[in-house]
């Protein structure tokens, strides 16, 4: 592990018990503070607010720090607009912990757009990906500086009318610790050769902040109509199952009014298992794989019930409830380095798992007078695997823009390209995708409904054509285990927890580790790429002054909301910038981007 080995001893320029600060509550004090701050090339910034949501919060304090002293602006008492030129100055570095929050807070409450951010939270995440997930300021100040911050004070800012000494100490310390943290992290980023990826993440931060602020509009009527139809289908499926099972139960059949009551909770796997056993269906579990293979009408009915129930519970009223009362839109949380591979994660709600069915996606619409540009990379992960493995057959397919899965099938089955049938193409596609996840013969056999021996034969045939793919996958899997980390094309690293040989599941963990080692360079490079694309698109939109903003991203896809009359131009811009982003990482394999103008979230 990188940092654990040495704890840099750093001399603090402030006293953690008694930090130097100045509370700014008059216009005159603002003027003087800004005069001092202007002399600094590097500033630390932090905000204290009553809530996390920028649209409902009350901004209480804005702290701007120099290495020795914190200037605490009481936002309730003074106009902080004299800070604007400093915070928006692209040449002056701003050190911030979780800069997304401060960016949004200052943008919404003070119309200040922070430029040139070094985010200590993202830096810490980049430096510890894979072996630590705790990146709070409290945790990293303790780890690097041995300073214990009292984060519980945060909650008091909304309640206390006058600022206490304790609160001000806390506010000062919060911003002062950022300087030594920055120093340590910067050195570590250089040592681990992670400055390039850090730069990418920092430039991506404002884009993510803006995406969240802008949010997504939902056609609520359409959503509810869709929901109603789903509920009808679900209730029908549920009733059929209950009636089927009812004869097995002797009591609790009717309620006080003589209505039939449910005899089993269909959402409880334990109860289902028990009920099925009564009809002679003894299943090892009620998982989808098992139910699919079970030749019994009840299994089919349960599958149908579940498919509706899942959609209703996860994507029904709960999503509507997330519409913000002030903006009328949905503002999800994007975690910029959510997955250890570098991918985004999204929550509250997770818009990255909205069903692809257009019944759901077409409910996401642009505002009045706007359009969507919906753009995605075509087969980006396979293209990355082609580039990384340098497999000639794979690269050739993409260079000649052939249907890769069909080509794979024709080579595996030794038949002309044109004669490849649906089933053959499906098999080839399954292998192409499965390999990226480190899939083996047994699990391939299950998916394709063939014997393990047949699957092995198929794989061998595959590797005869794509020998370098296999050698590359084996190599990166081994390397991950040997060196303890994986890297991506953008220079990202993911470290691995080495399993304990004494652990009974050691072998299993090790092979899991190897599969992660195979997948991470692919998935991670794809994450790097979409981040470059977001940055390029955002910068170009600003440069040209378009009325447009990215509103959503799903791993290989970007949604931009744009003023209708600019839609075509921005569509071209998005396509061009996505390709430019890809070319930063892919030098041999061409990429394809599908970008279109649309009135709904659909391809």
Partner DNA sequence: GGGCCGAGCCAC
Partner DNA sequence: AAACGTGGCTCGGCCC
C-alpha closest to that of 596 among 369, 396, 374: 374
Quote the least distance from Cβ 466 to DNA, whole Å.
Answer: 18
We find the least distance from the C-beta atom of residue 232 to DNA, in angstroms, to be 17
Q: Least Å distance between CB 434 and DNA?
A: 6
Q: Does 158 bind DNA (CB under 7 A)?
A: no
Calpha distance 418→402 (Å, rounded): 12
- The residue range among 82-90, 154-162, 285-293, 481-489 that interacts with DNA, by the rule CB under 7 A, is 285-293
Residue 349 found at the interface with DNA (CB under 7 A): yes
Q: Whose Cβ is closer to DNA: residue 40's or residue 224's?
A: 224
Nearer to DNA, 36 or 232 (CB): 232
SS (H, E, C) 242-276: HHHHHHHCCCCCECCCCCECCCCCCCCHHHHHHHH
> Which of 258, 280, 284, 325 is close enough to bind DNA by CB under 7 A?
284
Is 345 a residue that touches DNA (CB under 7 A)?
yes
Q: Does 357 bind DNA (CB under 7 A)?
A: yes
x/- contact string, 298-337, with DNA (CB under 7 A)?
-----x--xx--xx-xx---x----------------x--
* 2 contacts DNA (rule: CB under 7 A): no
In the shown chain, the binding pattern of residues 418 to 457 toward DNA, with x for contact by CB under 7 A and - for none, equals ----------------x--xxxx-xxx-xx----------
Which of 341, 389, 410, 432 is close enough to bind DNA by CB under 7 A? Answer: 341
Residue with tokens 């009362």: 325
The yes or no reply on residue 46 touching DNA (CB under 7 A) is no
When the beta carbons of 84 and 361 are compared against DNA, the nearer one is 361
Q: What is the DSSP letter of 284?
A: S
Question: Which residues in the 514-533 window bind DNA by CB under 7 A?
Answer: 515-516, 519-520, 523
* C-beta separation of 566 from 346 below 8 A: no
Nearer to DNA, 169 or 408 (CB): 408
Q: Quote the least distance from Cβ 507 to DNA, whole Å.
A: 5
Closest distance between DNA and the C-beta of residue 291, in Å? 7
CA angle 415, 416, 417 (to 5 degrees): 115
Tokens of 433: 């995708």
Q: How far is the CB of 361 from DNA (least distance, A)?
A: 9
Token pair listed for 201: 């993440």
- Residue 343 as a binder of DNA (CB under 7 A): the answer is yes
Query: In angstroms, what is the minimal distance from the CB of 590 to DNA?
Result: 19
Q: For residue 95, give the nearest of 132, 40, 148, 162 by alpha carbon.
A: 40
Q: Is 132 in the site for DNA (CB under 7 A)?
A: no
Q: Which DSSP category does 216 fall into? A: B
How many Å is the Cα radius of gyration of the chain? 28
Q: Could you give the C-alpha distances from 62 to 30, 75, 81, 90, 181, in angstroms and in order?
A: 12, 7, 11, 19, 20
Q: Are 116 and 93 in contact (CB under 8 A)?
A: yes
Structural contact between residues 13 and 179, judged by C-beta atoms closer than 8 angstroms:
yes
Q: DSSP for 439-461? A: --HHHHHHHHT--HHHHHHHHHH
Distance of CA 321 to the CA centre of its chain: 22
Q: By CB under 7 A, how many residues form the interface with DNA?
A: 64
Q: Which is nearer to DNA, 156 or 379 (CB)?
A: 379
Binding region for DNA (CB under 7 A) out of 10-18, 44-52, 146-154, 344-352: 344-352
Tell me phi and psi for residue 327, to 5 degrees. Answer: -100, -20
Helices (H), 27-98: 27-37, 84-87
The contact set with DNA (CB under 7 A) reads 265, 267-271, 284-291, 293, 303, 306-307, 310-311, 313-314, 318, 335, 338-341, 343, 345-350, 352-357, 434, 437-440, 442-444, 446-447, 507-508, 511-512, 515-516, 519-520, 523, 554-557
């Amino acid at each position: 592990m990188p940092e654990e080995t040495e704890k840099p001893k750093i001399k603090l320029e402030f006293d953690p018990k008694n930090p130097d600060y100045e509370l700014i509550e008059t216009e005159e004090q603002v003027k003087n503070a800004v005069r001092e701050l202007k002399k600094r090339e590097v500033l630390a910034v932090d905000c204290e607010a009553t809530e996390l949501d920028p649209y409902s919060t009350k901004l209480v304090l804005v702290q701007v720090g120099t290495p020795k002293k914190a200037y605490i602006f009481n936002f309730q008492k003074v106009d902080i607009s004299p800070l604007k030129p400093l915070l928006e100055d692209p040449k002056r570095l701003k050190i911030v912990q979780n800069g997304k929050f401060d960016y949004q807070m200052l943008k919404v409450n003070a119309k200040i757009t922070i430029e040139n951010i070094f985010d200590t939270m993202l830096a810490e995440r980049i430096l510890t990906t894979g072996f630590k997930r705790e990146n709070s300021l409290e945790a990293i100040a303790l780890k690097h500086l041995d300073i214990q911050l009292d984060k519980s004070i945060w909650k008091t800012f909304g309640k206390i009318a006058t600022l206490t000494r304790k609160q001000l100490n806390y506010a000062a310390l919060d911003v002062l610790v950022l300087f030594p943290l920055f120093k340590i992290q910067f050195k570590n980023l250089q040592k681990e050769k992670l400055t390039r990826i850090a730069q990418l993440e920092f430039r991506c931060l404002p884009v993510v902040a803006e995406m969240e602020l802008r949010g997504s509009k939902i056609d609520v009527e359409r959503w509810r109509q869709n929901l109603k139809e789903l509920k009808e289908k679900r209730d029908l499926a549920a009733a059929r199952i209950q009636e089927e099972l009812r004869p097995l139960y002797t009591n609790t059949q009717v309620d006080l009014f003589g209505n039939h009551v449910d005899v089993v909770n269909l959402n409880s796997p334990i109860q289902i298992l028990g009920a099925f056993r009564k009809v002679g269906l003894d299943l090892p579990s009620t998982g989808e794989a098992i139910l699919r293979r079970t030749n019994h009408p009840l299994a089919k009915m349960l599958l149908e019930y579940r498919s509706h129930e899942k959609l209703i519970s996860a994507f029904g009223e709960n999503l509507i409830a997330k519409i913000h009362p002030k903006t009328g839109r949905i503002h999800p949380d994007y975690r910029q380095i959510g997955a250890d591979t570098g991918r985004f994660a999204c929550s509250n709600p997770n818009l990255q798992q909205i069903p692809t069915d257009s019944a759901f996606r077409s409910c996401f619409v642009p505002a009045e007078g706007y359009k969507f540009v919906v753009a995605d990379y075509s087969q980006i992960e396979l293209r990355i695997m082609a580039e990384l493995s340098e497999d000639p057959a794979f690269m050739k397919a993409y260079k000649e823009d052939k249907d890769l899965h069909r080509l794979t099938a024709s080579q595996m089955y030794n038949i002309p390209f044109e004669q490849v049938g649906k089933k053959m193409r499906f098999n080839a596609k399954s292998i192409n995708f499965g390999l990226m996840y480190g899939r083996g013969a047994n699990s391939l056999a299950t998916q394709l409904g063939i014997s393990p021996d047949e699957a092995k034969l198929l794989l061998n045939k595959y590797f005869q054509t794509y020998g370098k793919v296999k050698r590359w996958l084996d190599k990166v899997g081994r390397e991950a285990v040997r060196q303890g980390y994986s890297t991506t094309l953008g220079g990202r690293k993911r470290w691995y927890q080495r399993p304990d040989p004494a652990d009974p599941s050691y072998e299993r963990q090790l092979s899991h580790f190897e599969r992660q080692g195979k997948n991470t360079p692919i998935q991670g490079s794809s994450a790097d790429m979409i981040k470059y694309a977001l940055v390029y698109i955002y910068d170009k939109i600003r440069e040209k002054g378009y009325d447009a903003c990215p509103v959503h991203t799903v791993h290989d896809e970007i949604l931009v909301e744009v003023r209708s009359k600019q839609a075509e131009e921005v569509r071209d811009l998005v396509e061009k910038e996505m390709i430019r982003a890809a070319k930063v990482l892919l030098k041999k394999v061409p990429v394809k981007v599908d970008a279109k103008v649309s009135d709904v979230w659909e391809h």
